[in-house]
Amino acid sequence: MNLDFPGPQAVRKLRPGRLVIASHNPGKVREIRALLGPHGVEPVSAAELDLPEPEETGTTFVANAELKARAAADLSGLPALADDSGLCVAALNGDPGIFSARWGGEEKDFDLAMRRVEDALAAAGPDASRDAHFVCALALAWPDGHVEWFEGRVDGTLVWPPRGARGFGYDPMFVLNGMTESFGEIDPDHKHSVSHRARAFEQLVAALF
């Protein structure tokens, strides 16, 4: 589902071949590789190509995803796929949101980031809602400047202490509605089928392949 914008109808198909994953996050690259695997694409990460990480100056997930995808496509001469995703907590007015990684400091320490979220919820009072959702925006850019966008969302509840070590980021403290295990506890293949990233990829695959 496209959430914050209507989104264009895809007018260009993605051909088999090399595709840059515009990320230096190993966990994110791993998930995207798994999601692209069945579609004849040869993913190569921005880190493998020694591409710099652009400053994320956008004010939305979509804007930051597009910024990263355009930069990688321009520098590599290849189609580039960027993901911008994060955790939005109802009681924190949507924070950490687009600043999800930055809540972990310069080292992007998500143990620290999760603790900061929990501390902020504690400061909000005992009746603060623990409802939260993950958002994933995908932008696919070609070197000629053409871009396609897709966005997915999943809703759930935050738990403390964090549970599981199978995911990454805020996964250990997020339990999807209808489930009892956190994203850090479930099998990665299961997560690939139910996550915010999976929802966005469903749209991408339907439109571009």
Residues that are catalytic? 84
Q: Indicate the SS3 state at residue 115.
A: helix
What gap in Å lies between CA 2 and CA 199, rounded to an integer?
10
State the Cα–Cα distance between residues 149 and 166, nearest whole angstrom: 28
User: Alpha helix (H) ranges present in 78-195?
Assistant: 110-123, 188-194
| Token couple for 186 | 């479930």
Length of the chain counted residue by residue = 209
On whether the CB atoms of residues 124 and 47 are closer than 8 A, the answer is no
